[in-house]
Chain A
Amino acid sequence: MPILLEKRQLVTPGDLIAEGDYIAGENTFAENNKIYAARVGIVEYENKRVDVVALKAFYIPRAGDIVIGTITEVGFNGWTVDINSPYIALLRASDVLSRPFKPQKDDLPQVLDAGDLVVAKIVSYDRTHDPQLTVAEPGLGKITRGQIIKITPTKIPRVIGRKGSMISTIKQETGCNIILGLNGVVLITGKTLEDEQLATRAILKIEQESHTSGLTDRITQMLREEKSKREENKK
């Protein structure tokens, strides 16, 4: 039974990808034993499973995901957090304070105020309830310095690269620490602003060209060129 399109083909919603005994994977749907694309993206398949890697999408929360969010509102016993998704996340006061919350004693805006950024993990989410966050784990909590950039959430895996090859290259070449929120928000903290800017440019380049091949090499090349240019300028 045939697959009608080759790997890495660009498809638009409604395009027939495969006919017959296949499983509809991500961004596809099955009807009458036929598999169609549901988003603009690139066809990938493995065994009997057909996927479309979306070129543009939005973030849908999943329990266990690390995300970067902005506090939008301080409530009575917690905060509401914008996690760059159709759904607003909730962060409980007792979770941040790591002890029971006492309204008489604790002043919430002093702990986290509107506009503050947090690295958090999603504890729970389903169709009927808004996602709930936690910061009670090492590496999570309020962000105090660094650069924030937003990219399409579907491209986060591309920034990570195969077995983390892409992200470790950028980290190594720029000396920056990079936290990738699965909601498409990226935090870059480096020693100097220039390092951070270089890492930012690399990540934005990956977003732009995520569907092309040989990207890791091009990124490495770009980073090295930029660095040598900078050293020449210093001299």
Chain B
Amino acid sequence: MNDKPEKLIDKKGLRLDGRKADEMRPVKLEVGVISNADGSAYIEHGKNKILAAVYGPREVHPKHLALQDRTVLKCRYHMAPFSVQERKSPAPSRREVELSKVIRECLEPAVFMEYYPRTMIDVFIEVLQADGGTRCASITAAALALADSGIPMRDLVVACAAGKVDNTVVLDLMDTEDKMGAADVPLALMPNLNAVTLLQMDGNLTREEFETAVNLALDGCRKIYAMQKEALKTKYVNVSEDTKEEAED
């Protein structure tokens, strides 16, 4: 793991995994994978494999946390011990606690919180395999799980990152690029309302680079959004097709 690649982008302008600068890793989405949960989703974003499950709205425990005018959204982002090369302690780390908060705040604007006072919605995000950009993939999966559970939402939330490696602004950083690269800009979007709910940056970018990075990430988000909608619909379209076949028999 410690062998540092000398160049993150080769002479042809291709990245370590053979992608172009504005190319995203392949994304696969699935809805309704956990039958015990009220809503669930699974995402494969490149080598990232993440499960999201939603429970609720349900009673608040402990009771004193309940809010009289809206629901409480609880979010837990957790990485499995086997999700990275070196075993990660299963106890929530500082980073996981922070990411849980960031993801919660990025989902809250999309949920009609005021509809169900004195209740709680639980969002569990489990990273099974991590390869850079897990917060973005987690947000995408969590929003799908929320929609699947039947919680009223203003819009879905999609997230995608852009960044800078070897002096080039690129879309969707993978793990090595994230660690060796110069900057990382994760961005979450509510596509129909055209509202950004998460925007972070680490590393240094000039104003121009930042602007291209944001635009690149926005384009990436819209691409994933199309897949998100498709995944939600697929769950029900399959049933219709089955019945059609049945009717023809």
Which A positions have Cβ atoms within 8 angstroms of B? 10, 12-16, 27, 29, 31, 36, 38-40, 54-58, 60, 86-88, 127-128, 152, 154, 208-209, 211-212, 214, 218
Given contacts A13-B110, A58-B57, A214-B247, 17 further A-B contacts (CB under 8 A): A12-B147, A12-B156, A14-B191, A15-B229, A16-B192, A27-B152, A39-B153, A40-B232, A55-B150, A56-B39, A57-B150, A86-B58, A86-B59, A128-B117, A152-B150, A208-B239, A211-B239
CB-based nearest B residue for A60: B116
Tell me, rounded to whole Å, the shortest Cβ–Cβ distance linking A162 to chain B.
19
User: Which of B39, B150, B151, B247 lies at the interface centre, i.e. has the most chain A CB atoms within 10 A of its CB?
Assistant: B150
Q: List 26 A-B contacts (CB under 8 A).
A: A12-B156, A12-B233, A13-B110, A13-B154, A13-B155, A14-B154, A14-B191, A14-B192, A14-B193, A15-B192, A39-B152, A39-B153, A40-B147, A40-B148, A40-B236, A55-B150, A56-B39, A56-B149, A57-B150, A58-B38, A58-B150, A60-B116, A86-B56, A88-B59, A212-B239, A218-B247
A86:B119 contact, CB within 8 angstroms: yes
Determine the chain B residues whose CB is within 8 A of the CB of A13 once the complex forms: 110, 147, 152-156
Determine the chain B residues whose CB is within 8 A of the CB of A10 once the complex forms: 233, 236-237
CB-based nearest B residue for A154: B150
Determine the chain A residues whose CB is within 8 A of the CB of B218 once the complex forms: none
Judged by a CB distance under 8 angstroms, whether B36 is at the interface is: no
Cα distance, A40 to B116, chains bound together (Å): 18
Determine the chain B residues whose CB is within 8 A of the CB of A54 once the complex forms: 150
Cα distance, A13 to B193, chains bound together (Å): 11
CB-based nearest B residue for A57: B150
B150:A14 contact, CB within 8 angstroms: no
Determine the chain A residues whose CB is within 8 A of the CB of B93 once the complex forms: none
**Complex interface residues of chain B between 152 and 176 (CB less than 8 A to chain A):** 152-156
Determine the chain B residues whose CB is within 8 A of the CB of A56 once the complex forms: 39, 148-150
Determine the chain B residues whose CB is within 8 A of the CB of A214 once the complex forms: 247
B118:A87 contact, CB within 8 angstroms: yes
Judged by a CB distance under 8 angstroms, whether B190 is at the interface is: yes
Cα distance, A59 to B170, chains bound together (Å): 46
CB-based nearest A residue for B191: A14
Which B positions have Cβ atoms within 8 angstroms of A? 38-39, 56-59, 68, 110, 112, 116-119, 147-156, 190-193, 228-229, 232-233, 236-237, 239-240, 243-244, 246-247
Determine the chain B residues whose CB is within 8 A of the CB of A218 once the complex forms: 243, 246-247
Determine the chain A residues whose CB is within 8 A of the CB of B191 once the complex forms: 14
Cα distance, A10 to B150, chains bound together (Å): 14
Cα distance, A86 to B61, chains bound together (Å): 12
CB-based nearest B residue for A82: B59
CB-based nearest A residue for B153: A13
A87:B240 contact, CB within 8 angstroms: no
User: Which of A15, A86, A208 lies at the interface centre, i.e. has the most chain B CB atoms within 10 A of its CB?
Assistant: A86
CB-based nearest A residue for B118: A87
Cα distance, A15 to B119, chains bound together (Å): 26
Q: In the complex, which of the residues A14, A154, A209, A211 contacts B156, with contact meaning CB atoms closer than 8 Å?
A: A14
Cα distance, A57 to B110, chains bound together (Å): 17
Tell me, rounded to whole Å, the shortest Cβ–Cβ distance linking B10 to chain A.
40
A87:B119 contact, CB within 8 angstroms: yes
Determine the chain A residues whose CB is within 8 A of the CB of B57 once the complex forms: 58, 86
Determine the chain B residues whose CB is within 8 A of the CB of A152 once the complex forms: 150
A38:B152 contact, CB within 8 angstroms: yes
Determine the chain A residues whose CB is within 8 A of the CB of B240 once the complex forms: 209, 211-212
Cα distance, A127 to B69, chains bound together (Å): 8
Cα distance, A36 to B244, chains bound together (Å): 29
Cα distance, A54 to B39, chains bound together (Å): 14
Cα distance, A60 to B116, chains bound together (Å): 9
Q: In the complex, which of the residues B58, B68, B155, B247 contacts A36, with contact meaning CB atoms closer than 8 Å?
A: B155
Cα distance, A88 to B58, chains bound together (Å): 9
Q: Which 7 A-B pairs have the closest CB atoms?
A: A14-B155, A56-B150, A13-B153, A14-B192, A86-B57, A38-B152, A57-B150
Tell me, rounded to whole Å, the shortest Cβ–Cβ distance linking B197 to chain A.
12
Determine the chain A residues whose CB is within 8 A of the CB of B68 once the complex forms: 128
Cα distance, A208 to B119, chains bound together (Å): 28
Q: In the complex, which of the residues A12, A27, A38 contacts B232, with contact meaning CB atoms closer than 8 Å?
A: A12
Cα distance, A87 to B151, chains bound together (Å): 15
Determine the chain B residues whose CB is within 8 A of the CB of A208 once the complex forms: 239
User: Which of A16, A39, A40, A211 lies at the interface centre, i.e. has the most chain B CB atoms within 10 A of its CB?
Assistant: A40
User: Which of B117, B153, B156, B247 lies at the interface centre, i.e. has the most chain A CB atoms within 10 A of its CB?
Assistant: B153
